[in-house]
Amino acid sequence: MQIIFDNVHYVYSSGTSFEKHALKGINLKINKGEFIGLIGHTGSGKSTLIQHMNGLIKATSGKIYFNGEDIYDKNFDMRTLRSKVGLVFQYPEHQLFETTVYKDVSFGPKNLGLDKLEVDLRTYEALKMVGIGDDLIDASPFELSGGQKRRVAIAGILAMQPEVLILDEPTAGLDPRGRDEILDQIAKLHKEKNITVILVTHSMEDVAKYVDRILVMNNGNLVMDEEKVKIFSRYKELEKMHLAAPQVTYVVNALKEKGIPVSTDVTTVDEAKNEILKVFKDKIQKI
């Protein structure tokens, strides 16, 4: 196991009139190399949950373990945790602050106390991983396009060589092409580097395309934790939580109700297309 939550509770503004129980007895195990989607309505506890994963917020009660170590142990190195569990906030380009792309991406590795050669290697590798070329190394990050800024911000986290990459709405505000480019790059990193990825998003289409397992938060509770096909088969329950399944889920279920023998275990447009074609080919062969 890589990250374990053991009966974790978190209360904002405890003892005041603004008190809110944001996490309620969370029990969760995240394994190395997983690609997980985290979904839930606004205010469900998603952001609070992920900020516990690298110690930005301390649980009111309960335990959290990283690679078998209690992160609340007095001898635990929280700095190491934050270098191993990288958190990319929504609109991460707002966190860019250096005068050049290189300086911004290299800031984290430098603060780990690494020598210049290692800092350079990590910086250039991270920029390559997100598709930023050498021609932009010395450019001001503020002169880049929105999508390029987003890539540079993600590279800054990757340069720390995290074991876990948490992305909070990483494609917010991007056009469809920019969104696909960012997520395709993240999927490639996950596959090639075996990085654990946790994707927080409101896009069910993105969840369907990229993740394997889905966590569903609702009013501070972890109410579902299953592989994506099983989660989307419970689309009527999702609707009660003001969520939805991908559009193809509704299409194949409507076809099934009309008597067309399609499998409802599809989550993407391509899978649905292939399933529908298969049904029609089978019918033609029987004629």
Residue 68 lies in a domain: no
Residue 263 structural domain: 246-287
Phi, psi dihedrals of residue 119, rounded to the nearest 5°: -60, -45
- Structural domain total, the chain: 1
pLDDT of residue 146: 81
- Inside any domain, residue 272: yes
Would residue 167 count as lying in a domain? no
> Considering the entire predicted model, what is its pTM?
0.89
Model pLDDT for residues 198-225, shown as the tens digit of each residue: 999 989 999 999 999 999 999 999 999 9
- Phi and psi angles of residue 198, each rounded to the nearest 5 degrees, phi first: -120, 115
Between 180 and 59, residue with greater pLDDT: 59
Q: Which amino acid is at 149?
A: K
Do the domain assignments include residue 270? yes
- Domain membership of residue 263 (yes or no) is yes
Measure Cα distances from 51 to 6, 85, 87, 218, 259 in Å. Answer: 15, 10, 8, 17, 46
Candidates 251, 236, 252, 243; CA nearest to 217 is 243
Query: Which pLDDT band holds residue 1 (cuts at 50, 70, 90)?
Result: low
